[in-house]
Chain A
Amino acid sequence: MRKDKPCILRVEDVTMQFGGVVAVNNFSMEEYEGEIVAIIGPNGAGKTTAFNVITGVYAPTNGRVTFDGRKVIENFPRGKMKKGYLGENAGKYTDHLEPTPDKLTALGMARTFQNIRLWKSMTVFENVLIAKHMKRTSNLFSATFGGNRAEEKRQRDEADALIETVGLSDVRDEPATSLPYGKQRRLEIARALATDPKLLLLDEPAAGMNPQETVELTRFIGEIRDQFHVSILLIEHHMDLVMDISDRIYVLDFGSMIAHGTPVEIQANEKVIDAYLGVTDDA
């Protein structure tokens, strides 16, 4: 654990309850700057839900998320949930902070999606360029009437540079959806990087990839961390990839965290082997 570095993300007691189902129960984690942290767990363990809470897609039923030293999300059981709340730590949090995903992205959190979500009608270049929209300083009028030429040019140059860095220059003007799967993933990561994030969240980056592509991706993620100085939080099923690049791992099962530690510790953990690497259907 790199405790000497500042904490980039702190999740405290996050509980997400849908109706009577507790999808994530009392989940806490920390990530320090420059780390690669993985969340693993069997299907339906609540990994993606936890992810969606951190990125602002869902407001948690209870709990708090602190990002880059700033409290960004906090909620407590309110309204209908007040009576029906099944989780723990009720009453510990009293604030209500529920930003939309774009606000969190503006603070420096960028994500990719499990089922690739590129803008389908657009080229590789445009996909990266649009992610630069957030960084604009021009208003509607100056943008429409060409008062932002310099900014426009800078955005285009930055997008081109980024495409070059991630190795997609040869397909720059191809429609995004015409790329092979591995390159679409790469593009989605490049698009997230275009927002200049401090924390990059990857939701199953190796899903649907063949072994060759997975090896390339593993190398790519390592490169990104070093080149762009980002911290990375990822959800993954491919054990090879996770054990290879993660500094630390959190293991979820049925919504609760059952273990956390270094890859070596996790590989030796009895509980994890039972729940995940053992005789479950999806192993």
Chain B
Amino acid sequence: MKQNEKKVSWISFLLVLAFLGLVFWLDQIIKPTNKMYMLMTVLQKGSVYALAAVSMNLLNGYTGLFSLGHAGFMLIGAYTYAIFTIPSSARDTVYQYFDAAIRISFPELLSNSMGSAGTVLGVAIAVIFAGLAAAFFGYLIGLPVLRLKSDYLAIATLGFAEIIRAVFQWQKLGPITNGSNLLKNFMRTSLFKLKVGDTKLVFSTFVPVLIATLSIIVIVKLVNSTYGRAFKAIRDDEVAAEAMGINLAKHKMISFTVSSFFAGVSGAMMAMVLSIAQASNFKAAMTYEILLMVVLGGIGSTSGSVIGSFLFVAASEWWLRGLDSGKFLGIEAPGIFRNGFRLVVFSVIIMIVVLFFRKGIMGEREISDLFREKKKAKGAAR
């Protein structure tokens, strides 16, 4: 039994490592001019949404808290990351109409003393900072909101997310947030290149994928720990959980804050992938998209959320593109396949998926269960 569990975690670990290796390799061979570069875009955006979906799943799927404030926390993460990585040379062009108040850039600061290693470290610190900022606001919002249940909680969090968006667009906060203008010129994925000797290594896709992978591993570890079990107990039956000594307020707050932290990290990734940060991008519709990925993948399944996000991004950004531009699967029909038709087909596909997979693609299972079930079957055969 124990041996089996160890094997499962080893297989999972090796698979993750192989995936990271593959992404690193693809990063070197597929240039932005390549026809297949769409794959890299999907990997980048997919990993952003995968982390967002997994962190939302931690709340909605594992703790049973129906929260819809994700876009708000991602926004905080995106802005925090952007503000703290704008190099001083670009600051005045970015803050055109304001006098920038925050004049620190972590990557720049550290690269002055440590070279390119400092840049890497600076980006890492900015990402963690983004998570912490989101977690802090998550904690503050959680104080009043977590007393509510189900639909009421959803409405309250949705409201707070909209408030966050409005505040970040407020002109009075311009020196920090640049008002309703966008933030740009900060450390973005297209700048993630390193010269080692004579070879130039590209990390544009590898970095977001790596951040997402590490974060998701942490979330999985949390879910499998004693705290994760307590979260599931709260989801299954709050009254019983409280009667068995689980402090509801405390555990809900932990789940909410941790989820906000990783939403913030995914927001930072979103900023570096899109190379801009603008509050008006983080609308409630973004939360719904993430919720859709969670539901498609299977509420309560981490691998489901990841699969759901990548499928969602690949379908909407890549596979169905032709539906908007006249040619799809070799069929040319400019009359039908024009702007907006993609979304129609996309909605139909989602409806079909939800109809045939009532509990999402994965239900409550995980990919690692696949190895586990096989092992069990073998044992039974003996």
What CA separation (Å) do A102 and B241 show in the bound complex? Answer: 8
A100 contacts the other chain (CB 8 A): yes
B123 contacts the other chain (CB 8 A): no
What CA separation (Å) do A145 and B225 show in the bound complex? Answer: 9
Known: A117-B239, A121-B232. A144 touches B245 (CB 8 A): no
Are B244's CB and A110's CB within 8 A?
Answer: yes
What CA separation (Å) do A136 and B244 show in the bound complex? Answer: 13
What CA separation (Å) do A131 and B245 show in the bound complex? Answer: 7
B100 to chain A, nearest CB (A): 35
Indicate which residue in A103, A117, A134, A140 contacts B240 across the interface (CB closer than 8 Å).
A117
Known: A144-B222, A145-B221, A152-B226. A118 touches B240 (CB 8 A): yes
Which residues of B are found within 8 Å of A101, using beta-carbon distances?
A: 242-243
Known: A119-B236, A120-B236. A133 touches B230 (CB 8 A): yes
Known: A120-B236, A145-B221. A133 touches B245 (CB 8 A): yes
Indicate which residue in A105, A110, A130 contacts B230 across the interface (CB closer than 8 Å).
A130
Known: A102-B242, A111-B243, A195-B244. A130 touches B227 (CB 8 A): no
Are A133's CB and B246's CB within 8 A?
Answer: yes
Which residues of A are found within 8 Å of B193, using beta-carbon distances?
A: none
A138 to chain B, nearest CB (A): 7
Which residues of B are found within 8 Å of A132, using beta-carbon distances?
A: 226
Nearest B residue to A191 via CB reads B244
Which residues of A are found within 8 Å of B317, using beta-carbon distances?
A: none
What CA separation (Å) do A166 and B245 show in the bound complex? Answer: 21
Which residues of B are found within 8 Å of A120, using beta-carbon distances?
A: 236-237
B292 contacts the other chain (CB 8 A): no
B229 contacts the other chain (CB 8 A): yes
B247 contacts the other chain (CB 8 A): yes
A129 contacts the other chain (CB 8 A): yes
B351 contacts the other chain (CB 8 A): no
Are B240's CB and A144's CB within 8 A?
Answer: no
Are B236's CB and A134's CB within 8 A?
Answer: no
A178 to chain B, nearest CB (A): 15
Are B236's CB and A136's CB within 8 A?
Answer: no
Which residues of B are found within 8 Å of A136, using beta-carbon distances?
A: 226
Within 8 A of A (CB), among B57-110: none
Are B226's CB and A155's CB within 8 A?
Answer: yes
Known: A143-B225, A144-B221. A102 touches B245 (CB 8 A): yes
Known: A102-B248, A130-B230, A133-B229. A146 touches B242 (CB 8 A): no
Which residues of A are found within 8 Å of B247, using beta-carbon distances?
A: 100, 102-103
What CA separation (Å) do A129 and B224 show in the bound complex? Answer: 12
B233 contacts the other chain (CB 8 A): yes
B254 contacts the other chain (CB 8 A): yes
Which residues of A are found within 8 Å of B254, using beta-carbon distances?
A: 140
Nearest A residue to B227 via CB reads A143
Indicate which residue in B235, B236, B239, B244 contacts A105 across the interface (CB closer than 8 Å).
B244
B218 contacts the other chain (CB 8 A): yes
A113 contacts the other chain (CB 8 A): yes
B1 to chain A, nearest CB (A): 10
A187 to chain B, nearest CB (A): 12
Are B221's CB and A100's CB within 8 A?
Answer: no
Are A118's CB and B233's CB within 8 A?
Answer: no
Within 8 A of A (CB), among B247-267: 247-249, 254, 258
Are B237's CB and A117's CB within 8 A?
Answer: yes
Nearest A residue to B250 via CB reads A102
B247 to chain A, nearest CB (A): 5
B364 contacts the other chain (CB 8 A): yes
Which residues of B are found within 8 Å of A144, using beta-carbon distances?
A: 218, 221-222, 225, 227
B55 to chain A, nearest CB (A): 14
Known: A100-B247, A119-B237. A138 touches B226 (CB 8 A): yes
What CA separation (Å) do A129 and B244 show in the bound complex? Answer: 11
Are B244's CB and A134's CB within 8 A?
Answer: yes
What CA separation (Å) do A126 and B237 show in the bound complex? Answer: 14
Nearest A residue to B238 via CB reads A117
Which residues of B are found within 8 Å of A138, using beta-carbon distances?
A: 226
What CA separation (Å) do A121 and B61 show in the bound complex? Answer: 12
Which residues of A are found within 8 Å of B225, using beta-carbon distances?
A: 143-144, 148, 152
Are A131's CB and B226's CB within 8 A?
Answer: no
B164 to chain A, nearest CB (A): 25
A224 contacts the other chain (CB 8 A): no
Nearest B residue to A132 via CB reads B226
A106 contacts the other chain (CB 8 A): yes
Are A113's CB and B236's CB within 8 A?
Answer: no
Indicate which residue in B222, B226, B249 contacts A133 across the interface (CB closer than 8 Å).
B226
What CA separation (Å) do A113 and B242 show in the bound complex? Answer: 12
What CA separation (Å) do A146 and B218 show in the bound complex? Answer: 11
Indicate which residue in B230, B236, B241 contacts A121 across the interface (CB closer than 8 Å).
B236
Which residues of B are found within 8 Å of A122, using beta-carbon distances?
A: 232-233, 236
What CA separation (Å) do A145 and B227 show in the bound complex? Answer: 12
Within 8 A of A (CB), among B189-243: 218, 221-222, 225-227, 229-230, 232-233, 235-237, 239-243
Are B245's CB and A119's CB within 8 A?
Answer: no
A163 contacts the other chain (CB 8 A): no
B93 to chain A, nearest CB (A): 41
Q: A101-B243, A140-B222, A140-B258 are in contact. List 9 more A-B contacts (CB 8 A).
A: A100-B242, A102-B242, A110-B244, A117-B239, A119-B241, A120-B236, A121-B235, A130-B229, A133-B244
Closest 6 A-B residue pairs measured CB to CB?
A134-B245, A105-B245, A119-B236, A117-B240, A143-B225, A144-B222
Q: Which residues of B contact A (CB under 8 A)?
A: 218, 221-222, 225-227, 229-230, 232-233, 235-237, 239-249, 254, 258, 300, 364
5 interchain pairs, CB-CB under 8 A: A117-B237, A119-B233, A121-B235, A133-B227, A146-B221
